[in-house]
């Protein structure tokens, strides 16, 4: 595997350099993006300046026959948080990039002109050319242009107008199996960094390339078979997620009183049944869509789904749990079609659905529009896409919007909006929000598994005891999973089935000729977190930044009327390893 570097600021135009892995040997996905950013990017640089780098890396097992191995890591210094960032996406890109032989693509420098560039990579090599016909295009329109030029056997990594305008809520889009730009590295403003590099789209074509070959093909195949069996025998990965998508959680979290509503004022939303996973699945079947769909080849969970509008025409992927919550309950909206339209617009303009949903709720609190105003919310998204003055404010996220409009309840950590679980009613996830190296991020250490779903154990969600330990252990495990290229949803089966965890370790060993044990898996995750923490420390962050906004400590959350109770000195112990 090689590292492909493109210096967008080279004299005479972009310069392409291929290097061996060198000191980065044995790293993939998040481990590789964080290692390159931590070592090569000055921690005090401006995120949109020439010194920042955008690192795009498939996982250790991407491009192989391993099931679920199609996750892509996108890393940089975040313009939203100022911390190190790894944002994760599904879609086809990771598998294709890995089969082309690249462990990472690194965009460096700033272009010396105002052109937007198209990068095309196939087995013959790499072409970087200006293509101003793409300037300002939305993601869906862009993909149509690419299909006209290269056919429909490619995949794309692209930004929409939000990325070109370098908004801190801008995402990087990856196309799915149908070549739709529906899978996004959403969090942290990675799209703005890609926009700053002048790159509009990276087109990947793996025609003529074979799957990556394991060191021990027989053991690899056998381990993969055990791994798939584990996923097919766990109720979450075999039934819940394929049947209803990630939004199966809506009714569950609402019932638990942890479903943030009206900008984190209460923990239950009366309109939840109208926007639940069960209701979306019913609508999809009724209209000719499908609640069961994989976002990339090799996915056996297939939770992405396809949503059709009232006329039976494709509109968007099945809206994810986070998207439905952020733009539904959090904004007081219970119209599934309006939320699906918002999801489409975010994908099209290239915006993080979590950050923007939280931002619109803050705007509602400021009185710009009323809670529950779906049409008003859709209009605000168009403001962002058009880059109006108001749109520029909103497109830079909840923290900026709260400051501009004088809102005191702004649910962010390190500048990044909280996802769809209130930390007062699920205290373990509150620990993860506060201490994650990336700003508030549920995927960094998904304590909901033990707090509410009772997967891998049970810890009372309303009490502070035991929360630091589960968040710490999950953050370590997640850092390794994010490096393998595996979908994080495999963790449900891994937490309950030791044999499924062992199967993943066996796959890594068979592919690379390693002799990993469970302890090596843990140590790998610790190594990743140490690199990330070191970067943040050099960027000026300290333990004092590992805190939730104060309102979570002083405002009781109905219906349980609890506050966040994990003491600061306990939060400071998360990374004592």
Decide: residue 378, CB within 10 A, 0-12 exposed, 13-18 middle, 19+ buried.
middle
CA–CA gap between residue 222 and residue 506 (Å, rounded): 9
**What is the per-residue pLDDT for 442?**
96
Q: Which domains does the chain have, with CATH numbers?
A: 2-204 (3.60.9.10), 214-244+423-577 (1.10.599.10), 260-419 (1.10.569.10)
- C-beta of residue 481 within 8 angstroms of C-beta of residue 455: no
**What is the per-residue pLDDT for 221?**
98
**What is the per-residue pLDDT for 538?**
98
CA–CA gap between residue 167 and residue 509 (Å, rounded): 41
Comparing CA positions, the residue from 211, 236, 249, 250 lying closest to residue 301 is 236
pLDDT tens per residue, the chain (577 residues)? 999 999 999 999 999 999 999 999 999 999 999 999 999 999 999 999 999 999 999 999 999 999 999 999 999 999 999 999 999 999 999 999 999 999 999 999 999 999 999 999 999 999 999 999 999 999 999 999 999 999 999 999 999 999 999 999 999 999 999 999 999 999 999 999 999 999 999 999 999 999 999 999 999 999 999 999 999 999 999 998 999 999 999 999 999 999 999 999 999 999 999 999 999 999 999 999 999 998 888 899 998 999 999 999 999 999 999 999 999 999 999 999 999 999 999 999 999 999 999 999 999 999 999 999 999 999 999 999 999 999 999 999 999 999 999 999 999 999 999 999 999 999 999 999 999 999 999 999 999 999 999 999 999 999 999 999 999 999 999 999 999 999 999 999 999 999 999 999 999 999 999 999 999 999 999 999 999 999 999 999 999 999 999 999 999 999 999 999 999 999 999 999 8
**What is the per-residue pLDDT for 298?**
85
Reduced 3-state DSSP string for 485-509: CCCCCHHHHHHHCHHHHHHHHHHHH
Comparing CA positions, the residue from 330, 334, 382, 387 lying closest to residue 359 is 330
CA–CA gap between residue 448 and residue 420 (Å, rounded): 11
Q: Which residue has the tokens 């099945």?
A: 318
**What is the per-residue pLDDT for 296?**
83
Cut 0.95: pTM above it = yes
**What is the per-residue pLDDT for 211?**
96
CA–CA gap between residue 573 and residue 567 (Å, rounded): 10
**What is the per-residue pLDDT for 297?**
82
CA–CA gap between residue 287 and residue 122 (Å, rounded): 38
**What is the per-residue pLDDT for 567?**
98
């Amino acid at each position: 595997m090689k590292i492909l570097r493109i210096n967008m600021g080279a004299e005479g135009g972009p310069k392409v350099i291929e290097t061996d892995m060198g000191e980065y040997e044995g790293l993939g996905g998040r481990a590789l993006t964080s290692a390159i950013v931590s070592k090569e990017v000055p921690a005090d640089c401006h995120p949109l300046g020439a010194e920042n780098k955008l690192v795009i890396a498939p996982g250790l097992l991407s491009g192989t026959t391993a099931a679920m191995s199609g996750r892509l890591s996108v890393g940089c210094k975040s313009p939203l948080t100022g911390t190190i960032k790894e944002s994760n996406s599904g879609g086809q890109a990771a598998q294709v990039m890995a089969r082309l032989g690249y462990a990472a693509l690194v965009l460096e420098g700033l272009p010396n002109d105002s052109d937007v560039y198209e990068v095309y990579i196939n087995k013959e090599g790499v072409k970087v050319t200006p293509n101003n016909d793409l300037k300002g295009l939305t993601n869906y329109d862009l993909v149509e242009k690419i299909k006209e030029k290269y056919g429909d056997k490619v995949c794309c990594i692209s930004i929409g107008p939000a990325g070109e305008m370098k908004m801190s809520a801008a995402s990087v889009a990856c196309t799915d199996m149908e070549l739709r730009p529906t899978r996004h590295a959403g969090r942290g403003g990675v799209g703005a960094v890609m926009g700053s590099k002048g790159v509009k789209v990276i087109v990947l074509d793996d025609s003529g390339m074979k799957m990556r070959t394991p060191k021990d093909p027989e053991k690899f195949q056998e381990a993969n078979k055990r791994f798939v069996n584990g996923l097919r025998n766990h109720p979450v990965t075999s039934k819940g997620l394929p049947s209803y998508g990630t939004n199966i959680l809506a009714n569950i979290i609402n019932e638990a009183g942890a479903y943030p509503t009206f900008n984190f004022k209460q923990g239950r939303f009366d309109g939840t049944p109208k926007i639940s996973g069960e209701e979306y699945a019913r609508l999809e079947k009724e209209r000719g869509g499908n609640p069961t769909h994989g976002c990339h080849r090799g996915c056996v969970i297939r939770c992405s789904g396809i949503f059709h509008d009232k006329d039976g025409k494709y509109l968007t992927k099945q809206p994810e749990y986070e998207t439905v919550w952020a733009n539904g309950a959090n904004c007081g909206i219970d119209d599934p079609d309006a939320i699906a339209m918002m999801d489409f617009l975010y994908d099209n303009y290239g915006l993080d659905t979590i950050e923007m949903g939280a931002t619109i709720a803050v705007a509602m609190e400021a009185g710009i529009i009323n809670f529950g105003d779906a049409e008003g919310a859709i209009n605000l998204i168009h403001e962002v896409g058009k880059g109006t003055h108001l749109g520029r404010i909103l497109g830079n996220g909840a923290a900026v919007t709260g400051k501009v409009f004088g809102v005191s309840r702004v649910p962010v950590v390190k500048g990044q909006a909280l996802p769809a679980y209130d930390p007062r009613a699920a205290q373990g996830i509150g620990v993860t929000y506060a201490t994650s190296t990336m700003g508030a991020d549920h995927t960094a250490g998904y304590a909901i598994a033990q707090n509410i779903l009772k997967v891998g154990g049970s810890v009372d969600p309303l009490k502070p005891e035991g929360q630091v330990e589960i968040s710490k252990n999950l953050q370590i495990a997640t850092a390794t999973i994010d490096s393998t290229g595996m979908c994080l949803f495999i963790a449900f089966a891994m937490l309950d089935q030791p044999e499924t965890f062992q199967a993943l370790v066996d796959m890594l060993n068979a592919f690379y000729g390693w002799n990993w044990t469970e302890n090596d898996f843990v140590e790998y995750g610790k190594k990743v977190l140490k690199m990330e923490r070191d970067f943040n420390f050099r960027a000026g962050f300290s333990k004092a930044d590992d805190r939730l906004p104060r309102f979570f400590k002083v405002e009781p959350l109905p219906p349980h009327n609890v506050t966040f109770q994990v003491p600061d000195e306990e939060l400071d112990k998360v990374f004592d390893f």
